[in-house]
Every structure is written in C-alpha cells, then in structure tokens.
C-alpha cells in the first residue's frame, strides 16, 4: 500500500466519524441555540456545560426497546432507516472540503481533501438527494399506521416539488463555473473583485443562493417545512412507529443531511475553503466556519419561524419558487452568453 492510499483510507474514515459526531454535536448545538433564543439555559447537567448530553441521549436510545408493529411489513420496516442513513452519508463522499495537501510534506503526491473526486459531482449529490426520499416514504408505508403513511406521502410530495427548484439552482451555478466538478466550482471562486469582495458565486447568484437554501430546508424536512413529522397533526409523522436505534438512524440522517446541504452550499456559493488571512493549506478551517454559520442559520430559522400550512408549502413550491428558479436560470444563461462570465 502506498502512503497516499493509506492517507485516503484514513481520510474516508475521518469523514465518516466527523459526520457521525457532527450529528451528535448538532443535537447539542440545536438545543443550546434554541435555549438561547427562548431565554432558557438549555442542557447543563450532564458534563461541563451539558456537553455530554448527546452521549447521554445516545446511551438512552440504545437501551430503549426496539418495537415493531405486528401489522408492519417486516423487511421494509427494517430497510427504511438503513436507506435514510446510507443516503445521508453517501452524499458527502463527493464534497471537497479543503485544498490539496501533502500533510506537511509526509506525502509525495498531494492528497485531495475529498473522499471521491467525481467529475459529475453535482449530479451525484442531486441523485443521492433524490434517493433519500425512499427511506422516508418506505418508513411511512411499511409502518402500517395512518400517521406514518400521511407523513410519508407528504414527504414524497414535498421532496418532488422542491427537487425541481433545487436542481435549477444547481444548474445556474454550473453555468457560471462551466464544470460539474465541485473542486472546479470552488476553484472558480478563488480571488477577489477590486481587492476586497471575494469572488463568491453568492454575489453573482443571490437569487440562486436563496432558492438553494429554501429548497435545501424543504429537502431536509426542517422547520418551517417539517411537514413529514408535523407533531401537532401527525404525532411524529413517518417515524411514529420507530423506536430505539432505528429511530436514531432517522435522527442521524436528518442531521447529516443538514451538514451535507450546508457543505454543498459552502462549496457552491460561499467559495468553499477560500478565505483571507489563512494559508491555502489551512483552508478547511474557513470551510468549517462557513458550514457552521449556515448550520446556525438553519437552527435559528427553525426556532424563529412557525410551520407553514401544507397548501402554502405546495403553492409556494410550484407557483413561486419554480418560476423564479427558471427565470434565474434563463437570466444566468443570458448573462454568461453576453458577458462571458
């Protein structure tokens, strides 16, 4: 085995563990930020500042009884959370999160900070996002419960509706970058305009960024678009019948999806690992900061905005978001043609 191969395997493991622990970290972060926004203290008993609360949560979940309704479809009921979690982790594989590095001269050939460099990375992310709906839909159907079924139906309708706008916003970015590879897209955002404005696609695609974030929230089923698990109407939506670790897998998938959507947003619109002050080799710190900022925005939004009505969600998706994203794509194409951006 060459050192590069070992480094790549280590990187893959690192990404996996980082995603797992980011989900745990997000639970703590979300509860703390929610507490801040509601002028409470939040978790503080377990460990210093309540930092061990996620560990306590995981232990509690592991020791819960694993229940399965008798009328449930046995195979699909077990398969659904696995599909959800797998899709969530798989999407991150093509996300680059730093410039090439030689690990302080340890390696001869530079290592790319990305699990797999696929030349159609954007489409892979889109494909996996479209597959992740199956986990939720199957969970809803196989539980054989009316709340779960309604949750599953809602989620499939919602994800189909918002996937179109999501894809359109991705397309407008790849028109600017002239490439489907995320590494190329990030490198297309290096440098600054007039010496102080970073060349982020955010400034060329403000509408695209808004569409991406809106559709991203809908794709991850987060508030204010959390209809698949609307507590007041559907008990817990698609995962009503799940308990213990299979419930934890849905939970995990939701947070990992959030991290992935934020990481992709950083790569597409916020210049990825490019930033001032730090050298190129420490660019991943910028990347983490930007992802963290978007995640904070996510949590902030959840505890600020109430859930919409279901018909509002559908009307907004089809009658506002989709026309705006098509218009944005046309304007972008015209701009690229006219100015050769």
Partner 1 sequence: MTLFYFFAIIAIVASLLVIAQRNPMYSVLLLIASFGALSGLYILLDAPFVAVTQIIVYAGAIMVLFLFVVMLLNAPHEDTGLDTRVHPMLRPGAMRLGAVLAVGLIAELVWALTSGSGSGSFPSGPVISVATIGRRLFTDYAFPFEVTSVLILVAMVGAVVMARHDGVAGGKR
Of 120, 175, 190, 326, the one binding partner 1 (CB under 8 A) is 120
Binding mask 173-192 for partner 1 (x = CB under 8 A): -------x------------
Provide the minimum distance between the beta carbon of 141 and partner 1 in the complex, in angstroms, as a whole number: 5
Q: Which of 77, 92, 141, 298 binds partner 1 (CB under 8 A)?
A: 141
How far apart (Å, rounded) are the C-alpha atoms in residues 263 and 190? Answer: 17
**Count of residues of this chain found to bind partner 1 when the rule CB under 8 A is applied:** 26
Is the peptide bond between 224 and the residue preceding it cis, with omega within 30 degrees of 0? yes
Binding mask 66-105 for partner 1 (x = CB under 8 A): -------x--x-----------------------------
Q: Which of 135, 140, 228, 271 binds partner 1 (CB under 8 A)?
A: 140
When the beta carbons of 76 and 341 are compared against partner 1, the nearer one is: 76
Could you tell me if 140 and 148 are in contact, meaning their C-beta atoms sit under 8 angstroms apart?
A: yes
Residue 157 CB, shortest distance to partner 1, in Å, is 7
Nearest CA among 183, 288, 162 for reference residue 225: 162
* Beta strand extents in the chain (DSSP E only): 98-101, 111-113, 192-193, 197-198
- Stretch of 20-28, 45-53, 148-156, 206-214 lying at the interface with partner 1 (CB under 8 A): 148-156
d(CA 236, CA 181): 38
Nearer to partner 1, 159 or 230 (CB): 159
Does 8 help bind partner 1 (rule: CB under 8 A)? no
Burial class (CB in 10 A: 0-12, 13-18, 19+), 75: exposed
Strand-pair partners of 197: 193
Rounded to whole angstroms, how far apart are CA atoms 17 and 14? 5
Cβ proximity to partner 1, 125 vs 248, nearer residue: 125
User: Between 130 and 243, whose beta carbon lies closer to partner 1?
Assistant: 130
For the bound state, the minimum distance from the C-beta of residue 336 to partner 1, rounded and expressed in Å, comes to: 14
Binding residue for partner 1 (CB under 8 A) from 11, 18, 118, 175? Answer: 118
Distances (CA, A) of 137 to 45, 133, 208, 217: 37, 6, 28, 18
User: Contact 92/259 with Cβ under 8 angstroms?
Assistant: yes
Please report how close the Cβ of residue 306 comes to partner 1 at its closest, in angstroms. Answer: 27
> By CB under 8 A, which span of 7-15, 49-57, 130-138, 248-256 interacts with partner 1?
130-138
Decide whether 8 or 130 has the Cβ nearer to partner 1.
130
Please choose, from the candidates 309, 58, 329, the residue with its C-alpha nearest in 3D space to the C-alpha of residue 208.
329
The 3-state DSSP class for residue 5 equals helix
Q: Which stretch binds partner 1 (CB under 8 A): 24-32, 114-122, 188-196, 246-254?
A: 114-122
166 contacts partner 1 (rule: CB under 8 A):
no
C-alpha distances (whole Å) from 308 to each of 147, 314, 316 are 19, 10, 10
Q: Is 153 in the site for partner 1 (CB under 8 A)?
A: yes
Q: Which residues contact 85 (CB under 8 A, 6 or more apart)?
A: 135, 249, 250, 252, 253, 256
SS3 content of the chain, % helix, strand, coil (to 5): 70, 5, 30
Residues that bind partner 1 (CB under 8 A): 73, 76, 118-120, 123-124, 126-127, 130-131, 133-134, 137-138, 140-141, 149, 152-153, 156-157, 159-160, 163, 180
């Amino acid at each position: 085995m060459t050192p590069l191969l070992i480094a790549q395997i280590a990187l893959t493991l690192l990404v996996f563990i980082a995603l797992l622990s980011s989900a745990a970290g997000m639970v703590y972060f979300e509860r703390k930020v929610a507490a801040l926004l509601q002028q409470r203290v939040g978790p503080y008993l377990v460990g210093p500042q309540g930092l061990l609360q996620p560990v306590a949560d995981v232990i509690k979940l592991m020791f819960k009884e694993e229940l399965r309704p008798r009328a449930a479809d046995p195979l699909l009921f077990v398969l659904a959370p696995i599909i959800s979690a797998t899709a969530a982790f798989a999407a991150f594989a093509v996300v680059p999160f730093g410039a090439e590095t030689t690990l302080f001269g340890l390696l001869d050939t530079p290592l790319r900070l990305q699990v797999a460099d696929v030349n159609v990375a954007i489409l892979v992310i889109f494909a996996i996002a479209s597959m992740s709906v199956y986990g939720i839909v199957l969970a809803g159907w196989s539980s054989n419960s009316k709340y779960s079924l309604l949750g599953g139906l809602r989620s499939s309708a919602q994800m189909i509706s918002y996937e179109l706008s999501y894809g359109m916003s991705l397309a407008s970015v790849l028109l600017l970058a002239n490439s489907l590879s995320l590494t190329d897209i990030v490198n297309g955002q290096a440098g600054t305009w007039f010496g102080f404005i970073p060349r982020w696609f955010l400034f060329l695609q403000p509408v695209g960024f808004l569409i991406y974030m809106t559709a991203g929230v809908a794709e991850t089923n987060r508030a204010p678009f959390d209809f698949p698990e609307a507590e007041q109407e559907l008990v817990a939506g698609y995962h009503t019948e799940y308990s213990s670790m299979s419930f934890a897998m849905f939970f995990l998938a939701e947070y990992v999806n959030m991290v992935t959507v934020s990481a992709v947003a950083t790569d597409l619109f916020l210049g990825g690992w490019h930033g001032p002050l730090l050298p190129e080799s420490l660019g991943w710190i910028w990347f983490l900061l930007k992802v963290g900022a978007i995640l904070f925005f996510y949590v902030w939004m959840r505890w600020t905005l109430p859930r919409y009505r279901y018909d509002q969600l559908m009307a907004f998706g089809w009658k506002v978001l989709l026309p705006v994203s098509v218009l944005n794509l046309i304007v972008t194409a015209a701009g690229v043609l006219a100015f050769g951006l």
